[in-house]
Structure 1
Amino acid sequence: MKEKIININSDLIKELRKRTSIGVVECKQALIKANGDLELAIDNMRRSGLKTACKKSGHITSSGLIAVEITSNKQYGIMIEINCETDFVAKDSTFQEFAKTVIITALNEKIHDINILQTRFKEQRTNLIAQVGENINIRRFVVLTGDFLGCYVHGFKIGVIVAASGNVTADLMKHISMHIAAKNPKYINVNDVPRNVIIRENNIQMDIAMKSGKSYKISEKITAGRMSKFFNDIVLTKQNFIMDINKTVEELLIEYHIKINNFARFELGEDM
């Protein structure tokens, strides 16, 4: 007897992927086995080893860890955030080993695209979901290159990676990374702050001062003082160095003949 050939619509595969977070090949095979019945395909998946992955794939992942790895020559580095649902799983050795494998692979293979990295570990992620009973998400990562990279990770919840040039030492780079972790600057120098951001903040502070009944001239002086504080909050070089509050980061860099070229800071679960 001739075997019946079942044609599976691509939209059906897409819908099954959306509902289960399982790969295209697995979804197509499940639909063929279920004669194109979407609900039966899901039931069959749940009966198999993919059951937990189907059930957990839509859960919010706000716990997890931040990890950083840098090559031995200090010129190429990666920082990554991988999420799970609870701190309990975040501290589990299996989850941490998965994260370690992901970041080392990304480093060694010089992967720059999050989609490529997620696809690379799709099967391992699915297996881990089934094992730990929580959704797992390779959320984001950043690649930095430079003359000398430094990094710092605070409790797996805040990570920093910095690229610099000049008379750099590993200890100094670690201290600068720790400063960025604590003070959370958005830009390296004042010139890096977009003009529209400066104008908007200046206008807001001027309006506040004028509405308090101050004259235009005094309002300008008040606004100038508040803008100085604004830059101190968001610009790395204008901040007092946490290891020596009597000097700014800018003064530190001048003293050691160092230039910060780039940095990235991740905080676990931010903007989710």
Structure 2
Amino acid sequence: MAITAKMVQELRERTGAGMMDCKKALTETNGDMEAAIDLMRKSGALKAEKKSGRVAAEGRVVIKTTPDRKVAALVEVNSETDFVAKDANFVEFAEAVADAVLAKRPADMAALAALPLASGQTVEEARAALVAKIGENIQVRRFQIVEASEGAIATYLHSNNKIGVAVSVTGEEELGKDLAMHIAASRPVCLDESGVPADIVARERDVQLDIVMQSGKSREIAEKMLEGKMRKFLAELTLLGQPFVKDANQTVAQLLKSKGAKVTTFVRFEAGEGIEKKQENFADEVKAQAAQAAQ
């Protein structure tokens, strides 16, 4: 029986399990929904997925590069606590996923989940097994492949393994290292002004125009002030417009020009960025546990 996307979606909604687990269970049970649920219960897939609702905002970033440094793979793997992010089993899993991404270059997260690891398990199977072993929600959140059309890939991984950068740059190796560290520290959104999303520019312009008009300046002066504010805003967002972290007297664009070098692309990952972390009150948590124990 052909397993359709609708069937997979229905099983996901009923179990909360991962897409690959659902598809596998339906395939093995020839599309029988109830039998698939029973199979997942027996295999432990649902046990692992019960933890999927918990926020995984900690973790680590892993970077792998080809020997010629023409291609790099960045992967972010998340856990619930920083303690688990340092666990040897977690680190081994994250490293194995990054190796697989660099070797196979999957098209998307679904393809990544199905990648075979050296252990013989798929990424998703290994993830679910690790959840069951460690007892925390663990997620492979994202990955990206960076290729150098010119020059080579320079990388930087912060000492806490939570910030990773890969940048494609021509020129000296030391320059590449400096630029990767700059990107890690200064968080540029894109390479240059052409890469800033139009909606972000429009929203900022509206805000700044309102602020300028409140100053009571003439329209002519207000427009000049607005343009100055927008130039500063765009410079702060773009790698080429930012002051170089090692020499604030020159921008990154000026640095590259002086070295006869150029950057074609970059990627910056920070573990947990954009994930809303649940704020726990330890005293309240202890009270809740004590109350539950007294029942």
Shorter-chain TM-score tier:
0.7 to 0.9
Q: Matched residue of 1:134: which SS?
A: coil
Contact 1:51/1:130 (CA < 8 Å) preserved in 2?
Answer: no
Contact 1:30/1:44 (CA < 8 Å) preserved in 2?
Answer: no
Q: 1:98 is matched with which residue?
A: 93
1:183 to 186, 191, 196: 186
List gaps (5 residues or longer) in structure 2.
1-5, 116-122, 276-295
Q: Matched residue of 2:62: which SS?
A: strand
Contact 2:69/2:153 (CA < 8 Å) preserved in 1?
Answer: yes
Provide the rounded CA distance (Å) in 1 between the counterparts of 2:133 and 2:74: 25
Q: 1:139 is matched with which residue?
A: 141
- Residue deviations 1:132-183 (CA, integer Å, cap 9, x gap): 1111111111111113111112222122111123xx2222111101111111
What TM-score, normalized to structure 1? 0.83
Question: Quick one: percent identity of the two aligned structures?
Answer: 34
Q: Are 1:150 and 2:147 matched, yes or no?
A: no
Q: 1:232 is matched with which residue?
A: 235
Q: 1:5 is matched with which residue?
A: none
Contact 2:71/2:153 (CA < 8 Å) preserved in 1?
Answer: yes
Contact 1:17/1:24 (CA < 8 Å) preserved in 2?
Answer: no
Contact 2:167/2:176 (CA < 8 Å) preserved in 1?
Answer: yes
Provide the rounded CA distance (Å) in 2 between the counterparts of 1:28 and 1:205: 56
Q: Are 1:159 and 2:161 matched, yes or no?
A: no
Q: 1:89 is matched with which residue?
A: 84
Contact 1:202/1:227 (CA < 8 Å) preserved in 2?
Answer: yes
Provide the rounded CA distance (Å) in 2 between the counterparts of 1:192 and 1:185: 11
* Structure of greater Rg: 1
2:126 to 103, 124, 127: 124
- Cα 1:136–1:180 change in 2 (3 A) is same
Q: Are 1:70 and 2:44 matched, yes or no?
A: no
- Cα 1:223–1:130 change in 2 (3 A) is same
- Cα 1:31–1:60 change in 2 (3 A) is farther
- Residue deviations 1:76-123 (CA, integer Å, cap 9, x gap): 111111111111110101100000001011112232322111122111
- 1:233 offset after TM fit, Å? 1.2
Contact 1:64/1:81 (CA < 8 Å) preserved in 2?
Answer: yes
- 1:264 offset after TM fit, Å? 1.2
Provide the rounded CA distance (Å) in 2 between the counterparts of 1:261 and 1:54: 40
- 1:237 offset after TM fit, Å? 1.1
- Cα 1:194–1:53 change in 2 (3 A) is closer
- 1:128 offset after TM fit, Å? 0.7
The RMSD of aligned alpha carbons is 2.9
Provide the rounded CA distance (Å) in 1 between the counterparts of 2:226 and 2:44: 62
- Cα 1:94–1:191 change in 2 (3 A) is same
List gaps (5 residues or longer) in structure 1.
1-8
Provide the rounded CA distance (Å) in 1 between the counterparts of 2:10 and 2:212: 59
Q: Which amino acid aligns with 1:81?
A: E
Provide the rounded CA distance (Å) in 1 between the counterparts of 2:33 and 2:238: 58
Q: 2:213 is matched with which residue?
A: 210
Provide the rounded CA distance (Å) in 2 between the counterparts of 1:33 and 1:194: 46
Contact 2:61/2:76 (CA < 8 Å) preserved in 1?
Answer: yes
Equivalent residue pairs, number: 258
Q: Matched residue of 2:191: which SS?
A: coil
Q: 1:25 is matched with which residue?
A: 24
- 1:125 offset after TM fit, Å? 0.9
Provide the rounded CA distance (Å) in 2 between the counterparts of 1:119 and 1:189: 36
Q: Which amino acid aligns with 1:183?
A: S
Provide the rounded CA distance (Å) in 1 between the counterparts of 2:35 and 2:105: 40
- Cα 1:256–1:14 change in 2 (3 A) is same
Q: 1:250 is matched with which residue?
A: 253
- 1:67 offset after TM fit, Å? 1.2
Q: Are 1:265 and 2:268 matched, yes or no?
A: yes
- Cα 1:254–1:114 change in 2 (3 A) is same
